[in-house]
Amino acid sequence: MGSSSSSLNNVPDGQQLMQETGFSAAHLLRLYERFKFLDKDNRGHLRSEDFEAVPELSENPIGDRIVGAFFLPGQETVDFSSFVRVLAHFRPTEKNRTRAGAQPDPANSRNRKLKFAFRLYDQDRDGKISRIELLQVLREMLGMQVTEEQLQSIADRAIQEADLDKDDAISFDEFRKSLEKVNIDHKMSIRFLE
């Protein structure tokens, strides 16, 4: 794509984002298209209503959480660079290629991916998944299929499994340990189209 580098200039902070997130110019262009599409009023930033306009998201049990993850704490809007930075978590990890100027811990590293997943639970950002937070997620995901007390015992059991220091909550370290065997790269990456 010869034209991509020239049109990258249209993308705000294009070069810097490429460096930072590892997305190619074509990726960024495409994402910018999408961003502009979501940003119906051309405000240059997205608000949660813009996200909610995506029809499929309303069917997603944890859609709200994902949307929430785009917003930095205390902020009402998302600009393009933070939009891309969040999406960068979902890039597949490169095995052997090391980008020049890549940070030591890029957004698509295992650690960062996990951190992202962890924050989906940890809504109050106290660094722990409490029983109540876990229960909320479970409730959202299992819905009406399971009765409340079954949910509770599932939550109890899940916490019991992961909880190493017995504080009845899952810290990030415990979370990471409990998912040690899971191929995070596999499970938390999507293919971004160019």
Please give the residue ranges that form the binding site for another protein (CB under 8 A): 30-31, 33-34, 37-38, 51, 54, 56-57, 59-63, 66-67, 70, 87, 90, 92, 95, 117, 120-121, 131, 134, 137-138, 141-142, 144-150, 153-154, 156-158, 160-163, 166, 168, 170, 175, 178-179, 181-182, 185-193
Long-range contacts of 139-148 (CB under 8 A, 24+ apart): 140/61, 140/62, 140/65, 141/61, 141/62, 143/61
Q: Minimum Å distance from CB 50 to another protein?
A: 10
Smaller CB separation from another protein, 59 or 101 = 59
* Measured distance CA(70)–CA(48) in Å, rounded: 9
Q: Minimum Å distance from CB 133 to another protein?
A: 12
Smaller CB separation from another protein, 72 or 182 = 182
120: nearest Cα among 134, 139, 131, 110: 134
Structure tokens at 134: 């876990």
Helix-helix angle 14-21:80-87, to 10 degrees: 20
Q: Minimum Å distance from CB 116 to another protein?
A: 8
Contacts of 30 by beta carbon, 8 Å cutoff, 6+ apart: 192, 193, 194
Q: Minimum Å distance from CB 77 to another protein?
A: 15
Smaller CB separation from another protein, 29 or 101 = 29
Q: Minimum Å distance from CB 156 to another protein?
A: 5
CA angle 193/183/132 to nearest 5° reads 100
Structure tokens at 113: 């991916």
In this structure, which amino acid lies at residue 185?
D
Smaller CB separation from another protein, 104 or 157 = 157
Smaller CB separation from another protein, 22 or 104 = 22
